[in-house]
Amino acid sequence: MEHLVNPLVKEVQISGIRKFYNMVADIEGTISLTIGQPDFPTPLHIKEAAKQAINNDYTVYTHNAGYLELREAASEYVKDKYQLTYDPANEVIVTSGASEGIDVTFRTILTPGNEVILPGPVYPGYEPIIKMCGSAPIYADTTKNGFRLTADIIEQYITDNTRCIVLPYPSNPTGVTLSADELKDIAELVRGKDIFILADEIYSELVFDQKHVSIATYLKDQTIVLNGLSKSHSMTGWRIGLLFAPVAISQHILKVHQYNVTCASSISQRAALAALTAGKDDALPMKSEYALRREYVYNRLQAMNLEIVKPNGAFYFFVKLPEGFTSSLEFCLKLVKQEKVAVVPGDAFSSLGEGYFRISYAYSMETLKMALDRIEAFLLKNN
């Protein structure tokens, strides 16, 4: 019966990140720097709020868009943090993680034959959904521009078929982000065109050297903002995403969301309410620790003479392969075989990621030291 499966689905590949993680998971003694998941526990007060929600029978369907109280808190949160203004009644949707937000957004705005501009290299979660919508992902090469998708690069890729530009900043896998001036330039380029901006800002609370700015500040009418609590509050398994868009767009996204999941988990929504109110600054101590880890990893990689762009957000380094290696998969397999350290091959993040590998530093300092010692030993052996 497989021949009856939707061919667009059959073409989809498992994420290269997970594929490599699964490939090396059973190698005993391996230190993994592969997964972008905070190593901090969910803050206690958030877990207590979830327990209380169960005890108080918050175990039924919510409004399709989420509890109004939570949407009000989310609206207040982005206004306080990023000076964005959205009406909680009809411009905020609570999704089942930011991943569902990506899915329902693309299925709302894309039609067959559309094109979506993505910065390459980029998180692999966009391309499959774009293709399942019958649209085409168009990768804009950012490797010679510090991994930043700026207006001058975007302009080269815009065609009559362009329907959306994805701005995933801070970036997975590179950790870079855009400045306010760069965002203003993009806004001016796109303003008035029949092009949406999908601003994936899931790492917005993990920006180190500048204040996070959203392009929605300058181009709200054409922008869909995705955020969530997975990275900021160490709530990956709770599956709470937050989608913000003008009502002209959000009213249609809500229909797709409704028929997709009905609503996000009621218990997780009550936990999210605690996160966005009493815990609105929960990310700050985590960010301080990530900043220390970033400096440590940066100094170690520099001492190994590896070519890197210093990240200013998220918790990743995207590292150029050392001389002597031409395949990112070959490098990563050899590293895990010889020294039992797992990192992600760069080609997991599109063909423009070939020639690089990704390190996640969402791990303890002790783990990072052990892994980097092994990477250093590997480079000395294979010099």
* Confidence band for 16, pLDDT divided at 50, 70 and 90: low
Same domain? For 150 and 102 the reply is yes
Other CB atoms within 10 A of residue 18 CB: 15
Provide the CA 363 distance to its chain's centre, in angstroms.
Answer: 17
Supply the range of the domain harboring residue 126.
Answer: 44-276
CATH number at residue 288: 3.90.1150.10
pLDDT, one tens digit per residue, over 287-317 is: 999 999 999 999 999 999 999 999 999 999 9
The average confidence (pLDDT) of the chain is 95
Other CB atoms within 10 A of residue 139 CB: 19
CATH number at residue 72: 3.40.640.10
Of 276, 299, 320, the one marking the end of a domain is 276
Same domain? For 175 and 221 the reply is yes
pLDDT, one tens digit per residue, over 176-235 is: 999 999 999 999 999 999 999 999 999 999 999 999 999 999 999 999 999 999 999 999
* Confidence band for 17, pLDDT divided at 50, 70 and 90: low
Same domain? For 54 and 161 the reply is yes
pLDDT score recorded for residue 2:
81
Average pLDDT over residues 79-102: 98
Same domain? For 185 and 255 the reply is yes
Same domain? For 26 and 51 the reply is no
Strand, helix or coil for residue 95: strand
Q: What percent of the chain has pLDDT over 90?
A: 90
Same domain? For 106 and 194 the reply is yes
Same domain? For 48 and 170 the reply is yes
Same domain? For 228 and 163 the reply is yes
DSSP assignment string, 192-237: TSS-EEEEE-TTTT-B-SS----GGGT-GGGEEEEEESTTTTT-GG
Half-sphere exposure of 90 (CA within 13 A, CB side): 6
Alpha helices by DSSP H, 2-126 = 7-10, 16-24, 44-55, 68-82, 97-109
**Better-predicted residue by pLDDT, 20 or 367:** 367
| Bridging pattern class, strands 356-360 and 316-320 | antiparallel
pLDDT, one tens digit per residue, over 121-179 is: 999 999 999 999 999 999 999 999 999 999 999 999 999 999 999 999 999 999 999 99
Average pLDDT over residues 34-62: 97
Same domain? For 30 and 86 the reply is no
pLDDT score recorded for residue 18:
66
